[in-house]
Amino acid sequence: MSQTDADQQRIALAEAWISQDPDPETIAELSAIVDAVRGGDPVASADLADRFDQRLAFGTAGLRGEIAAGPNRMNRVLVSQAAAGLAAHLVEHAVLGQTPSIVIGYDGRKNSAVFARDTAEIMAGAGVRAILLPRLLPTPVLAFAVRHLDVSAGVMVTASHNPPNDNGYKVYLGGDDHGSQIVAPTDAEIAAQIQRVADTLPVTDLPRGVFETAAESVVDEYIRQTAQVAAPPAVQPRVVYTAMHGVGWQTMASVLSAAGFDAPSLVEAQIEPDPAFPTVSFPNPEEPGAMDLSFARAREVDAELIVANDPDADRLAIAIPDASAEAGYRRLTGNEVGLVLGWQAAERAAAVTGDSGPNGALACSIVSSPGLEAIATAYGLDFEATLTGFKWISRAPGLVFGFEEALGYLVNPGTVRDKDGISAGLAFLSLAAELKVEGRTVADHLDDFVERFGCHDSGQISIRVTELSRIGEIMARLRAEPPASVGGIRVERIEDLADGFGELPPSDVLRIVLEGGGRVMVRPSGTEPKLKVYIDAVSETGTVAERRAAASAAVAALDAGMRALVA
């Protein structure tokens, strides 16, 4: 087929897309591209090919992508097809004699509200009882509502901490799934229904119905239950909070008040929802510069703690004073926060012992710090390492605490079965208050952790690519030519999880186990065009300072070695 024939075929697909698109903005965008292709513009031709030669994949992370026209972007046509496909799945799997139901939430990103309303109307038109949350809210409130309202499923319209022009579509299941996100094979079943809709029905032919709006009492109950994570503090730490231009503050403020904590000092420029995210280049607390305004505000008020949520408030970042840091504060890594919160959870579990000792399990993703297993062992708790994502962590039997290194923490699985940056923020703030009573700091507590459990240091390499095939090439090369050493440290074995490993389902992950207790994990990102490398090292001998130095040196050596291998 000549390029001209391919262009004509894509133009026909684009015109069919335009004919069913209810959004004037994306109609105008795609029409301009079609006109440019007709005029022989090769850039426009490549753009049209990128939009129509493939479809934005629906998987265990739902949908996530740039807001723009075409099936390989997030837009009202694609979301309507997804809603109709999900509705068909819910109707097909409904208990005989019962009407399937869904609750839908949305954050402050561009088009989140309209995507949520389209979903609610199409669900109702398909015979599903559809309930829309009353206003823009954090993702954890939606996850809570799935269980609280006892519905069949939930949808959250958010792209979490992605770039400003992205949006996404997370799907949760009720019933036996207890409000966790979807996993295989459900994702493939829903994807097949979405494809059927896309192949057979223009979205203009999808019936729309009347949906319900949830009462504010749903939010009130989330606040009430979340506030129970912490006892009222005996002293009040000096705290700075930022919502990173997202939807976290209003709910966080209510939770803190209900738990007896004073209102924190705010990063005012970032406190209200703003889909443009004007003060950050990337609305992710992990990104360089994202917390600069928080550091500045903390210096003004001499804060003892900085609490940051990402835009949909399912993630939490913590920063503490550090005289050696240029800003006077340093952000703790996700592993540091996870291990401290895991230690807190283990202490609480140990305080409620059964006849056979402590009950419950700590869980983290396979790429998160092995230090959590050391905590579980010390307290006689079960431990489970899962595939990446809270869709897996939340399903750990007997879970009392779970985390993943990407700033995700689950401290109250009886309330929410997903990462929750609000409850985790409260739990960490409670810990800081308890330490302050003793005249101690979070930094002191981190030293105590190293003394008791060893220094579990970690690092990460993220390689962003423009061509996704590059990730596959690197993974294939590592499999074909496995290294005998990394950074001068001998490789003991390499575990390929592609066909599953132990009780883990198959996943495109390589685990490199090294002499001395070190470990490197390599995997493609599930939400961004990145290859991710996770490095862990441990030192259990010597003083706290010596342990830190040894573990840090091992991480540095492994970092240099892996950069050479994946270059």
What is the CATH number that goes with domain 216-452?
3.40.120.10
* Model pLDDT, residue 499: 86
Same fold, 216-452 and 454-566: no
**How many residues can be counted in the chain?**
567
Q: Which CATH class is domain 454-566?
A: alpha beta
| Low-confidence spans in the chain with pLDDT less than 50 | 1-2
What is the C-alpha separation between 437 and 36, in angstroms, rounded?
67
Token duo for residue 115: 């995507």
Q: What are phi and psi of 534, to 5 degrees?
A: -115, 130
pTM: 0.94
* Contact status, residue 487 vs residue 332, Cβ threshold 8 Å: no
* Model pLDDT, residue 358: 65
- Distances from the Cα of 319 to the Cα of 90, 168, 333, 341, angstroms: 42, 28, 9, 14
What is the C-alpha separation between 47 and 34, in angstroms, rounded?
10
Token duo for residue 180: 């966790």
* Model pLDDT, residue 11: 96
Q: Which residue has the tokens 């240029």?
A: 326
Active site residues: 160
Question: pLDDT tens for residues 403-431?
Answer: 999 999 999 999 999 999 999 999 999 99
Question: pLDDT tens for residues 324-346?
Answer: 999 999 999 999 999 999 999 99
Q: Quick one: which of 479, 469, 466, 455 has its CA closest to 547?
A: 455
Q: Which CATH number fits domain 58-214: 3.40.50.300, 3.90.1150.10, 3.40.120.10, 3.40.50.1100?
A: 3.40.120.10
First-to-last alpha carbon distance for the chain, in angstroms, is: 36
* Contact status, residue 334 vs residue 341, Cβ threshold 8 Å: no
Q: What residue segments make up the domains of the chain, in order of their start?
A: 1-53, 58-214, 216-452, 454-566
* Contact status, residue 61 vs residue 526, Cβ threshold 8 Å: yes
Tell me the one-letter amino acid at 557: A
